[in-house]
Every structure is written in structure tokens, then in C-alpha cells.
């Protein structure tokens, strides 16, 4: 690496030429994306890539290129969202640690039938470790940070390996500000609109025909939180989504359903409470305050920096919530 008026030039070599086409992208789209995000100039010749620009940006670009190559070598696909996530994580001082965990440990990942999922933000890595370790996990933060998606992926992975016998996915049937009025149909048809995000995550991790078959057999159950009362949820991976819209009574009822050989994940954004009446404390906030320091319970907090949708979503979250990251939970 040589210096030139505060600009540097670095070269990166790749051994497997068969991975260069997906690494560069169609019409070098991936390289162009890196140039635009990091303010560098990239040129490729053979299996050698040259990066020129500000020293810090060149170092980050080289780091991201190597991580892209490593993921392709493991059989993973690279898309624009993956690249944006790697660029965001490259600003962290321990990108390698974020992606691998502690030294001499396997990479942090979740394997499902349809894909292998790796962390796409600094906050996702410790959360994925908690999903594999803790009995009950609270995942708090804004939309788009992967809280529910990763929980569903871990649940599917454990169902496939047989470490749990069923998945139970739930959320409170609370309208987000608008009044939906009377919904026609049977009970399933009435509550399905509220549970659609959970179906979407399932279909992304399992073939649709398997999802439908396992729902029909009872291995996968998707139901409003009211259906949990009076049950003991054993040998199950249980996920409660949109938990900020539970009351304290509902949350206590849900948490005490916990049974033998089970794991429970509670996801929500304490800044987006839609409990009718407006003067009732969120059961999610109350539960975290009471239970955070109990052994076997983990808490993961996400911020706008962990949003893995389009980068503008993170900026929208900041605009609405402020950038001081003051916690309200």
C-alpha cells in the first residue's frame, strides 16, 4: 500500500477465479455499489482488484471485498442488501470478530432448508448467539433490524434438527392506529392479517409446501396471544412478535406458559406502542425492567444502525426518534 496525497492504493488478490463473476456482480454492479458507498475507485484485472481512495475507505473496501469472497466460497449468495450490511459493519473495529465470534469458534450462522443466514449488522451477531444459548430472549428495537426474522430462522433450524417438536408463533391482535372494522370469515381468516409477517418469515426459511403441511399437522402453530392462556408450551420454540402491544397481564400470562425443553423469544419496539387507551404500560417494557438480570434470560437491544432494510430506513428511524439513542426501555 502506497500513500499519495492522503490517498492510498491497495491490491486484493483472489485465488478462485470462478467466484469473480458473482463477486463483481453483473456489469460490475457490486463494485460500483462499493465505490458509491465508500467513496473509492475500484478497477479489476484478472484475479486482482485495485482500490484507490482515502486510506480508511480503502481499508474498509478491502475488508468488505474479502468478506464477500469468503461468503461466496462458503456457497452463500451476495445481494445489494448483503453488501450494504457488510459496509455498515466494516465501520466497526472488529468486523472479523462480529462475523466469527470468539477465536477458534465456528462462524455465527443459522442454517435453514432454504438458506444459511449470517449476521448483517453488529447487533445481530450477539442476538444470534443468544438465540442459540438462552432460554428466554427479549429483542428490542426498531423495525427492519431482523428481530423476528432471525428468531423464526432459529426456530425453523431447531425444528429441522429435532431439538424442538413444534413452533408456536404469536402476536397480539392490535391495530396499528387504524381501525380495520369487521373482518369476514372464520377465526383463522380473521387473525391471519395480523400474523402475516410471521408467515412471510416462515416461507423465506422453508419451502411453502412444508410450511402448509406442518401447520396442518400442528407442528407449526400461528395464533393470537389470547390463545396461549391456560397452556403449558413444552418442547417448543415460542415467538411473540409485536410484544410492545401486550399489557402487563398478557405478558405475565405468556411468559408463564414456558415449559420443559422450550425456548422463548419476545420481540418488539417499545417506541411503537399501540395499546388501546394510551395510558396502559407496555407489558414488554415492564417485563424487561423486572426480568433482565435473571439467569437464563437475555436481552438484545437494536438501534437504527442495525436496520438491514434499505439504508434510508435507518435514516427515517433516526429522524423520528432522534439520534441520541436515549432509551425509553
CATH code of 8's domain: 3.30.1370.10
pLDDT of residue 102: 47
**Mean pLDDT lowest for which of 89-103, 136-150, 205-219, 310-324?**
89-103
pLDDT in tens, 8-61: 888 899 988 899 999 998 888 889 888 888 888 999 888 889 999 888 888 889
> Is the same domain home to 204 and 69?
no
The model's confidence at residue 188, banded by pLDDT at 50, 70 and 90, is: low
Average of pLDDT values for 281-308?
89
**Banded pLDDT at 120 (limits 50, 70, 90):** confident
| 175 and 290 fall within a common domain | yes
Average pLDDT over residues 162-185: 70
* Average pLDDT of the segment spanning 288-296: 92
The mean pLDDT of the chain is 81
Higher-confidence residue of 322 and 16: namely 16
329 is a domain residue: no
Specify the pTM: 0.68
Q: Select from 91, 121, 144 the last residue of a domain.
A: 91
Quick one: pLDDT at residue 26?
87
Asked which of 91, 118, 142 is the last residue of a domain, the reply is 91
In a domain, 328, yes or no: no
Residue 177 is predicted with a pLDDT of 45
Own/partner long-range contacts of 72-77 (Cβ < 8 Å, ≥24 apart): 72/19, 72/22, 72/23, 73/16, 73/19, 74/116, 75/116, 76/116, 76/118, 77/22
Whole-angstrom distance, CA of residue 45 vs CA of residue 33: 18
99 located within any domain: no
Residues 61 and 114 in one domain: no
Number of domains composing the chain: 2
- Higher-pLDDT residue of 199 and 95 is 199
Q: Determine the pLDDT at residue 103.
A: 46
- 21 lies in the same domain as 119: no
- Rounded average pLDDT over 239-256: 92
| Statement to judge: residues 138 and 11 lie in one domain | no
Q: What is the pLDDT of residue 200?
A: 86
Q: Mark whether 277 and 221 lie in a shared domain.
A: yes
Q: What local confidence, expressed as pLDDT, does residue 174 receive?
A: 58
Task: Please determine, for residue 321, whether its predicted confidence score (pLDDT) is greater than 60.
Answer: yes
With respect to residue 97, please indicate whether it lies within any of the assigned structural domains: no
- Using H for helix, E for strand and C for coil, what is the string for 72-104? HHCCCCCCHHHHHHHHHHHCCCCHHHHHHCCCC
- Rounded mean pLDDT, 140-160: 90
Give CA–CA dist 147/165, Å, rounded: 22
Does residue 191 sit within a domain? yes
Last residue of a domain, one of 67, 91, 115: 91
Q: What is the mean pLDDT of residues 213-217?
A: 90
Quote the pLDDT of residue 322. 61
Q: Which domain holds residue 264?
A: 105-321
Which of these ranges, 72-86, 122-136, 187-201, 267-281, has the smallest mean pLDDT?
187-201
pLDDT computed for residue 265 by the predictor: 95
CA proximity to 53, closest of 95, 3, 93, 92: 3
The mean per-residue pLDDT over the stretch 60-66 comes to 89
Residues 236, 124 within the same domain:
yes
Does one domain contain both 126 and 257?
A: yes
Asked whether residue 150 is assigned to any structural domain, the reply reads: yes
Q: In terms of domains, do 76 and 150 share one?
A: no
Residue 292 has pLDDT above 60, yes or no: yes
Q: How confident is the model at residue 95 (pLDDT cuts 50, 70, 90)?
A: very low
Instruction: Give pLDDT, residue 184.
Output: 60
* 100 assigned to some structural domain: no
Question: Confidence band (pLDDT; 50, 70, 90) for 311?
Answer: low
Kindly report, residue by residue over 69-81, the tens digit of the pLDDT: 988 888 888 888 7
Interval 296-317 mean pLDDT: 79
Specify whether the CB–CB gap between 150 and 126 falls below 8 A.
no
Residue 290 lies in a domain: yes
- pLDDT score at 79: 83
Check whether residue 58 and residue 127 sit in a common domain: no
Residues 65 and 140 in one domain: no
Contacts 24+ apart (CB under 8 A), 18-22: 19/69, 19/72, 19/73, 20/44, 20/47, 22/72, 22/77, 22/78
Q: Does residue 165 share a domain with residue 30?
A: no
Amino acid at each position: 500500500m502506497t500513500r499519495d496525497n492522503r490517498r492510498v492504493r491497495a491490491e486484493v488478490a483472489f485465488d478462485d477465479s470462478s467466484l469473480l463473476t458473482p463477486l463483481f456482480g453483473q456489469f460490475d454492479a457490486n463494485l460500483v455499489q462499493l465505490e458509491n458507498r465508500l467513496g473509492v475507485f475500484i478497477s479489476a484485472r484478472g484475479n486482482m482488484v485495485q482500490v484507490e481512495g482515502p486510506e480508511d475507505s480503502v481499508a474498509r473496501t478491502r475488508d468488505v471485498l474479502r468478506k464477500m469472497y469468503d461468503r461466496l466460497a462458503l456457497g452463500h449468495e451476495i445481494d445489494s442488501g448483503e453488501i450494504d450490511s457488510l459496509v455498515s459493519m466494516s465501520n466497526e473495529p472488529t468486523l472479523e470478530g462480529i462475523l466469527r465470534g470468539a477465536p477458534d469458534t465456528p462462524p455465527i450462522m443459522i442454517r435453514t432448508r432454504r438458506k444459511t443466514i449470517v449476521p448483517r449488522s453488529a447487533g445481530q451477531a450477539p442476538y444470534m448467539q443468544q438465540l442459540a444459548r438462552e432460554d428466554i430472549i427479549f429483542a428490542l428495537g426498531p423495525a427492519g433490524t431482523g428481530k423476528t426474522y432471525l428468531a423464526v430462522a432459529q426456530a425453523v433450524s431447531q425444528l429441522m434438527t429435532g431439538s424442538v417438536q413444534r413452533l408456536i408463533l404469536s402476536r397480539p391482535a392490535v391495530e396499528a392506529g387504524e381501525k380495520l372494522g369487521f373482518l369476514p370469515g372464520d377465526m383463522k381468516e380473521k387473525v391471519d392479517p395480523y400474523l402475516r409477517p410471521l408467515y412471510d418469515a416462515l416461507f423465506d426459511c422453508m419451502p411453502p409446501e412444508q410450511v402448509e403441511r406442518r401447520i396442518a399437522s400442528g407442528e407449526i402453530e400461528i395464533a393470537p396471544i389470547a390463545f396461549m392462556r391456560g397452556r403449558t408450551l413444552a418442547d417448543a420454540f415460542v415467538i411473540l412478535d409485536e410484544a410492545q402491544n401486550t399489557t402487563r397481564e398478557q405478558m405475565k400470562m405468556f411468559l408463564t406458559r414456558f415449559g420443559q425443553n422450550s425456548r422463548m423469544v419476545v420481540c418488539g419496539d417499545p417506541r411503537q406502542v399501540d395499546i388501546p387507551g394510551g395510558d396502559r404500560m407496555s407489558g414488554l417494557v415492564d417485563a424487561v425492567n423486572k426480568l433482565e438480570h435473571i439467569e437464563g434470560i437475555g436481552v438484545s437491544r437494536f438501534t437504527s444502525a442495525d436496520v438491514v432494510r434499505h439504508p434510508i430506513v435507518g435514516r427515517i428511524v433516526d429522524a423520528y426518534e432522534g439520534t441520541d439513542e436515549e432509551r425509553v426501555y
